Structure 1
Amino acid sequence: MKLLKIYINSFRGLSSESWMLALVMLINRSGSMVLPFLGVYMTDHLKFDIKSAGIVLSFFGIGSVVGSWVGGMITDKIGEFRVQSISLFLSVPMFCLIPLFHTEAGLATIIFIQSSISEAFRPANSVAVSKYAKPGNITRAFSLNRMAVNLGFSVGPALGGILAAISYDFLFYSNAAGALLAGLTYVFFFRNRSYRNKEKPDRAISDTSVSPYKDSRFILFAAACFFFSVCFFQILNTLTIFYKQEARLSAEKIGYILGFSGVIVVVMEMIMVQIAERYLKLKTTMLLGTLFCAVSFGMLAAGTSLWILVVSISILSLGEIWALPFMATITSLRSGTHNKGAYMGLLGIAFSLSFIITPSLGTFVAERFGFTFLWLATGIILGMTAVAFYYIVPWMIGNKKESH
């Protein structure tokens, strides 16, 4: 009962704009059913070989990098409202055009363009979350958005599997419908809204006009985020291969484990974020969250029994909660009034680069040296990254909790 009370209290104080941004994200991500099935679409429907499918998928990652960079840059020039609106509405025809391309070069091109447009939404959305959140509630506002993302990604692939069984074209048209509905919802609610979090420049933290690409301290932080994401996002590829090949789990059991992870994040994130905000400094939160992830991956070197896999994914989920949303908070605190989009864009690039590197790097290490070596190396790298966060964060924003 007490835990339920804490859970309910964790949502109090969030602005109506924060809730609506989360709703827009939920609608948009519920329609995001193309990516999990894109590889299957190419190999099964278009008869691409695995190498060709991999090349096309890499263009999605490249487009993500370009979209994060451009989206962050133009957000500071024209505002996050226009960038999010343009990104959502332009995504509609892009998704509809994908089924018209059947060659490797054509599909790679349209996927690159679509990814660049859709990923420009992310830094603009992060800026909106930080500006519409009530002062002192930024991390919880980001956590609410992440909850919407997790719920959306739970619904999207399930719907995608049903639609793919009927026709792959439905996947792309449903994605277009999701983007259109999200765009209409966003424009209707936010077209005349005023910011709640009108922060004052803090010269002790950052010059409000400096470029993040010239901010050596933030570049170090973004590099640490990159190493974290390269390790963590093995959950999307290498980890599932490990479950299949080494643990001999069926696709159904793999789905249950990943679904269990999503449930932990949805149920526990707001509670754990509230605890961290109340009792821990940002450097400590990042240290503990990253160390949890290190322990989770390191455990996998001990064996493949089901209890190890379940405990490992549980610890990984808790580590994710105390790492990912606070990265956005720290970025918001480091940035100034007029360069927040550029800072969020550089953070997005750090994650997008990992989407390009992680699949090939993880599978290469696993094939060459074995999964045991991969998981031990992942744990060591995350442990080093945790220490880096502990020293970099106070160097950037001071030795503090979330504050302004």
Structure 2
Amino acid sequence: MKNYLNAYFDNFRGFSQEVWVLTLITYINRAGAMVMLFLTKYLHDNLFFNLTQIGWMLFCIGVGALFGNWIGGKLTDRLGFYTVMLGSLFLTGFGIISLMFLYDFVEICIGLFLVTAIADTYKPAMYIAVSNFTNKKNRTRALTLVRLAVNLGIVSGPIIAGLVIQKDNYDMLFWIDGLTCIIAISVFMLLIDESKIYKARRKIHRERKLNKVITTNQKIDINFVIFLFASFLTAFLFFQLFTTIPLYNSDKLKLDEFQIGMLLALNGLLIFLFEMPLIGFLERKTFEATKIILLGSVFMTSGFFFLLFSKSVFILVVSIFLITLGQILLFSFSNSFAFTRAVHGQEGKYMAFYAMSFSAAQILSPKIGFSVIENFNYFSNWLLMGVIGLIGIMLYYKLDKNVRFETLAKEV
């Protein structure tokens, strides 16, 4: 046990102070993002909107996320990640507080769109920030560390939010959510030396020259386009874990809220225990990112095919394990792969497109999944997800093959 713990914590060593600061502010920001967790309940129970109206409001959030990622990438390339991250956190903080003063349907739709768009400019900038303070050897682990902070924030956020709602209703929730953004800004400004940013930019410029895989005169990177489509498909599967699968657990397996929550917690627990050690091991072995991503898509797709035969909790646990393993392999190495495909000076745009593939999947996945279930059944939905997963596997296989040929051509 002691050896495992030592090996486990070894995976958290070797990062710069800036990476740890970025991890900390990401955790603060995600743990404080409480309003969105209880937004549906707030809109229905407190403001008395019907489900159709709430559906449109959630749609505005999805569109805002798409727009925010896109504009965030452009602004990062023009202004740098430091300015974009500070601006995003500052404006998001005041934007969330202002939402508590909106009561009209149209006003709330516009407000949610704007706040989400501003908040999501943070994502491409954060990816670039982490990449600028890492090197090729520890970049994937660093991005995984930030993802771990996001997951921990998602776990602790609902607990804090539930306690706040019980004591002070929803008003305090808006204030805490907004103020955590301001706290994150303060931590960022106090602990990150802005002068190091310019050194990091020069370092990454040299690295890009040595490891360039795309010529700047090439307008379209076909392999990156394939990667984006495949990322969209696998993200489409992933979001089923938090939308249709919990409903299936309740309707078909007759599990109660606590049991459903425990199954969802299994996903977070597996990530917390095994993601960093696994990613550290794979980084040390220097496996090609495309092969790991391909393997991850196989695991995730297998998880949905297992659901076709899910008549017991045991099969469901196996399915969640496979989906989680696929999630770990896919998303950890996809982040770093997207960055390596970026043309120097356009890293923000490339990371924005990558983030947008997830935002689009987040909009469409639950809508299509619930429509299939309502008009057909759960079996049809799992079959559809399996087929979508197989298409994703084929695209990742094509990507791996293309990248191998690309590498051989460079060596010749």
Aligned 1:33-112 pairs, distance under 5 A: 33-112=34-113
SS at match of 1:76: helix
Distance 1:399 1:38 in 2: 48
**Aligned pair count?**
398
Which of 288, 301, 314 aligns to 1:294? It is 301
The letter for the 2-side match of 1:32 is A
Counterparts of 2:80 and 2:212, CA distance in 1: 25
CA distance in 1, matches of 2:208, 2:69: 26
Query: Which residue in 2 is equivalent to 1:275?
Result: 281
Q: Deviations over 1:314-364 (max 9, x none)?
A: 221111110012111111111122110000001111111112111211100
Cα distance change, pair 341–204 in 1 and its aligned pair in 2 (3 A): closer
Q: How does 1:297-376 map to 2 (within 5 A)?
A: 297-376=304-383
Are 2:240 and 1:237 aligned?
Answer: no
- Retained in 2: the 8 A contact 1:281–1:399? no
Q: Please list every run of 5 or more consecutive structure 1 residues that lacks an aligned counterpart in the other structure.
A: none
Look up the equivalent residue of 2:181 and give its one-letter code. A
Counterpart of 1:215 (choices 198, 221, 225) is 221
- Assess, with a 3 A threshold, how the Cα gap between structure 1 residues 209 and 77 changes in structure 2: closer, same or farther: farther
Instruction: Check whether the contact 2:151–2:268 (CA below 8 A) recurs between aligned residues.
Output: yes
Q: For residue 292 of structure 2, what is the aligned residue in structure 1?
A: 285
How far the C-alpha of 1:310 sits from its partner, in A, is 1.8
8 Å contact from structure 1 (residues 25, 145) kept in 2 = yes
Paired residue type of 1:14: F
Q: How big is the shift at 1:9?
A: 2.0
Q: CA 1:209 to 1:142, structure 2 compared with 1: closer, same or farther past 3 Å?
A: farther
Aligned ranges 1:111-150 → 2 under 5 Å:
111-150=112-151
Residue of structure 1 equivalent to 2:214: 206
Q: 1:84, 1:125 within 8 Å by CA — same for their partners in 2? A: yes
1:371-402: CA deviation from partner (whole Å, max 9, x where unpaired) = 112112212321331231132145358569xx
* Deviation per residue, 1:262-298 (Å, 9 max, x gap): 0110111111112222333212211111111111122
**Contact 2:291–2:400 (Cα < 8 Å) also in 1:** no
Q: CA deviation at 1:204?
A: 5.1
Matched-pair contact (CA < 8 Å) for 2:137–2:283: no
Structure 1 residues 141-193: Cα deviation after superposition (integer angstroms, max 9, x where no partner): 00000000000010111111222223112221111011111111112222332
CA distance in 1: counterparts of 2:218 and 2:81, whole angstroms: 19
CA contact (8 A) 1:208 1:339 kept: no
The DSSP-based 3-state class of the residue aligned with 1:102 is coil
Q: Deviations over 1:7-44 (max 9, x none)?
A: 12212222221111111101110101122211111111
Which amino acid in the other structure matches residue 251 of structure 1? E
1:234·1:362 contact (CA, 8 Å) conserved in 2? yes
Measured against aligned partners, the alpha-carbon deviations of 1:112-140 in whole angstroms (never above 9, x if no partner) come to 00000000000000001111113311100
RMSD: 1.8
| Contact map agreement 2:138 2:283 (CA 8 A) in 1 | no
Determine what percentage of the aligned residue pairs are the same residue: 30
- Please name the residue that 2:173 is paired with: 171
Give distance in 1, aligned partners of 2:370 and 2:241: 12
Q: In 2, distance between residues paired with 1:168 and 1:86?
A: 26
Classify 1:258/1:399 alpha carbon distance in 2 versus 1 (closer, same or farther; 3 Å).
farther
SS for the counterpart of 2:181 is helix
Distance 1:69 1:205 in 2: 23
